[in-house]
């Protein structure tokens, strides 16, 4: 039996993630190296209230997991952060928040997310950071914030696009 998608997103691909009339604000940050990428994540973490849905997009090796490591460090995680490429999700039980870091790169079919219980991860006040969200559209919740990581002449550019009022607060801080 085919389950009903989590939201009303029908298009697949980055254009479905990054476009739309529900854009509430956009900003851009430059990160010249890995340390700057982590620092950008730490700064962003200061704006978290709980329950955020963050999409991270960018080519393979762009720095999505590095940015996530900075966010987690900013939220109080002292240890290493590994990409959940093979496990699909890595949980972090922090003092103030429960954080789930998803990597959907190896997802064969978005419907597989129903089998792992995606709603249980996203239907409460946990922070969900999703790498490769385009592979799960239709079965993942809509984002508060989309961060597109692009290669730059030196380092990376992080283009942050708010999709909700909560995302707008994050971008404006």
Domains of the chain: 34-142 (3.40.50.300)
- For the chain, report the end-to-end CA distance as a whole number of angstroms: 44
Cα→Cα distances 130→32, 50, 139, 152, Å: 23, 15, 12, 22
Give me the mean pLDDT over the 159-167 stretch.
Answer: 94
Beta strands in the chain (DSSP E): 25-31, 53-58, 89-93, 98-103, 127-131, 145-151, 156-162
Assess contact for 166 and 52: CB atoms under 8 A.
yes
pLDDT at 8: 39
Q: Which one, of 6, 52, 79, 73, lies nearest residue 147 by Cα?
A: 52
Helical packing angle, 34-45 and 64-74, nearest 10°: 50
Residue 18 has pLDDT above 50, yes or no: no
Residue 24 has pLDDT above 50, yes or no: yes
Global pTM value: 0.85
Among the residue ranges 2-16, 38-52, 134-148, the one predicted with the least confidence is 2-16
Q: 144: which 2 tokens?
A: 């508060």
Residue 5 has pLDDT above 90, yes or no: no
Residue 2 has pLDDT above 50, yes or no: no
Among the residue ranges 8-17, 113-122, 131-140, the one predicted with the least confidence is 8-17
Give me the mean pLDDT over the 91-100 stretch.
Answer: 94
Give me the mean pLDDT over the 94-108 stretch.
Answer: 93
Q: With cut-offs at 50, 70 and 90, classify the pLDDT of residue 67.
A: very high
Give me the mean pLDDT over the 134-159 stretch.
Answer: 94
Residue 14 has pLDDT above 60, yes or no: no
Can you tell me the distance from the alpha carbon of 12 to that of 15, in angstroms, rounded to the nearest whole number?
Answer: 8
pLDDT at 84: 87
Give me the mean pLDDT over the 110-127 stretch.
Answer: 87
């Amino acid at each position: 039996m085919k389950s009903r998608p989590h939201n009303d997103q029908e298009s697949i691909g980055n254009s479905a993630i990054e476009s739309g009339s529900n854009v509430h604000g956009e900003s851009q940050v430059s990160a010249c190296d890995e340390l700057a990428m982590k620092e950008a994540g730490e700064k962003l973490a200061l704006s978290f209230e709980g329950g955020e849905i963050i999409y991270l997009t960018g080519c393979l090796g762009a720095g999505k997991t590095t940015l996530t490591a900075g966010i987690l460090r900013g939220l109080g995680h002292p240890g290493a952060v590994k990409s959940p490429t093979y496990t699909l999700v890595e949980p972090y039980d922090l003092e103030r928040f429960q954080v789930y870091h998803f990597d959907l790169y190896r997802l064969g079919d978005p419907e597989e997310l129903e089998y792992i219980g995606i709603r249980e991860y996203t239907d409460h006040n946990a922070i969900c950071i999703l790498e490769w969200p385009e592979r799960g559209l239709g079965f993942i919740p809509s984002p508060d914030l989309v961060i597109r990581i692009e290669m730059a002449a030196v380092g990376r550019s992080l283009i942050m696009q708010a999709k909700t009022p909560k995302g707008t607060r994050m971008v404006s801080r």
